Chain A
Amino acid sequence: MLRYAILRIFGAIPTLLLVIALAFLMVHAAPGGPFDAERMLSPEVEANIARAYHLDESLPQQFVRYVRGLLRGDLGPSYVYLDRNVSEVISRALPVSMQLGVLAMLLAIVVGIAAGLTAALSKNSFIDRFVTGIAMTGISVPVFVVAPVMVLVFAVYLNWFPASWTGGGGVSRLILPVVVLALPQIAYIARLTRASMIGVLSSDYVRTARAQGLRTSSIIRYHALKPAMLPLVSYMGPAIAGILTGSVVVEQVFGIPGLGQFFVTGALNRDYTLVLGIVILYAALVIGLNLIVDLLYGILDPRIGGR
């Protein structure tokens, strides 16, 4: 398995390079530049700025300069946060997004699996319909609706939690954003778990176990739970990468200095290096988490483990 993991990691390098090259081309292909504004600069000032930030070089030259920097671990200077470099912006924003993302994912896993299992075990009952209905609502109602409503109810009217990241210290400021981030994930996980568990429970070996007189709780615990988790594990890889790199809506609504916000404003402001830095991070996370998912598959499913 170690050999497999190492091969996969080396195999990911060309993918990552391709992502960097494509992202570099795409951000530079977008019309406008990082220093364009309604107030036009005089040609002399424009030339000085282009020279200072190497924007006067050809695109291949800029690409080579960027990749050289990357090899030294330097993601380059930000074109908007001029007093800082991209590594610094990301290293401050990533822990914030991760903190929220990890908590939201933990909440989503616990509540989502519990709800999904409950629904699957009482298939077609009132509880099942209730859970499925709530899950559908959770998926359908967008975050940009849920988040402001929650702020209005719990922060403005009830005053239970701060309305923003800087409005209060400690755990209280985490609760609303974590719950908002977790809600759609809970819904997805509950639906996935329910469908998968119903499938497993109707399989032949579970029927055989039942025929042998095993108790339902034992069947679920020792025979059904692990295989039922397989689709969930596949889903978790990209979902975790997505949630760790921040959600722009949640971050804007709660004023959280996370990665999602920097990614979107970076793209709008043509902050080439910042956008590239976050794309590289996101790509690396997706590649890394997919690898972990594949390794977990081997552990969860004995049919794959041998390969």
Chain B
Amino acid sequence: MPKRDAARPDADAGLAGFGRYAGPATLILSSLADGPKHGYALTKDVEEFAGVRLAPGTLYEALARLESQGMIEALEAEDRRRPYRLTAAGATALHAHLDAQRRATETGLRRLKANWGTV
């Protein structure tokens, strides 16, 4: 993990403190896990893999929070479009968050199958 990320106490807190921005933050980090992207490319990618369109204001609120907590970093702007890149701290936080979500999903599916016979 880079030293810059280790110096940020919030970077270890994962996405727990994001409140209502946790959803957009997860989608953004998942998108950036595939490589750096600028704002518009990010929304198109999220729309494609999650079926959710992030509104402009919400997207940039989440980007600002992620950047301030060292989970993403801004790269040099290209034609007034600035790409963002996932950091090591962001990758760790995303991994932990998705792991917890997977456990909850697997538990839910297992109980549904056992008691309702679905899935």
Do A and B assemble together? no
